[in-house]
Structure 1
Amino acid sequence: MSNDTDLQERVTPGTLAERAKLFRGLADPSRLAILEALRLGPLSVGQIVAATGLSQPNASNHLRCLSECGLVAGEARGRFVDYRLADLRIDELLALATELLDGPARGVDACKSYRASP
């Protein structure tokens, strides 16, 4: 009986919508680039811009979004803010995604059902 309850909790519309929203946020190439850069440690906006090739306003907008969603945390350092991953599990999630793409999910790139972001 507890398995049925666990299953029902996993597939409730609210739970699924929240997870889908998380993955939509991670699906944006600019936000994903920022998160990948932050896997190496705390960075300033300038360092993030240099690492990702994003413009400063674009990087700042995405950092605000990632911060509001709780994926990134910022710490003031004088006039600057150093950003870092808010939770080590984000690093683990990104590493797992790479492992999946190297193995069982290697067909994702050729999948016609998934469209690339513009």
Structure 2
Amino acid sequence: MAMNEGGRCVSADIAAGITPAAALFHSLADETRLRIVRRLAAGEARVVDLTGELGLAQSTVSKHLACLRDCGLIDYRAEGRQSFYALTRPELIDLLSAAEHLLGATGHAVALCPAYAHPARSSRPEAST
């Protein structure tokens, strides 16, 4: 599952009472993972493709791919010594499309939300009080 801010796997959070829905959205809340998912929505890619297209280090891409794979959102197929990553669930594209539609309908108000708009702030609103 996805890693949370403390470096723990979200599956540990589920065991602690976090709902699977919250864990799903948590796994997509990381901007790097979301960028990878959006790229994979266009078709499969290798790690080298993702590092070049997203301008990220190989270790960063690999870490996030492993997280998304653990969540069951992506998988890979091996071809020789190469691994090609792809989305496992086409519904994920629908979810992202619905999120874009919602953002458009709200005028991107969530981007102005004081609890979540600033990446430097804690992702837990109660911690910022």
Separation of aligned partners in 2, 1:65 and 1:36? 15
Structure 2 equivalent of residue 33 of structure 1: 35
Q: Does structure 1 retain, via aligned residues, the 8 Å contact 2:110–2:117?
A: no
Pick the structure with more helix per residue.
Answer: 1
The unaligned stretches of length 5 or more in structure 2 are 1-15, 121-129
Stretches (4+) displaced over 3 A: 115-118
Higher mean C-alpha displacement, 46-55 vs 70-79: 46-55
Q: Does structure 1 retain, via aligned residues, the 8 Å contact 2:47–2:61?
A: yes
**Deviation string, structure 1 residues 23-45 (Cα, Å, up to 9, x no partner):** 11100011011001001000111
Is 1:83 the counterpart of 2:79 in the alignment? Answer: no
Separation of aligned partners in 2, 1:84 and 1:91? 12
TM-score by length of 1: 0.81
Structure 1 equivalent of residue 25 of structure 2: 23
Structure 2 equivalent of residue 60 of structure 1: 62
Q: Secondary structure at the match of 2:78?
A: strand
Over the aligned positions, Cα root-mean-square deviation in angstroms equals 1.7
Q: How many angstroms does 1:96 deviate by?
A: 1.1
The unaligned stretches of length 5 or more in structure 1 are 1-12
**Alignment length (residue pairs):** 105
Separation of aligned partners in 1, 2:95 and 2:80? 32
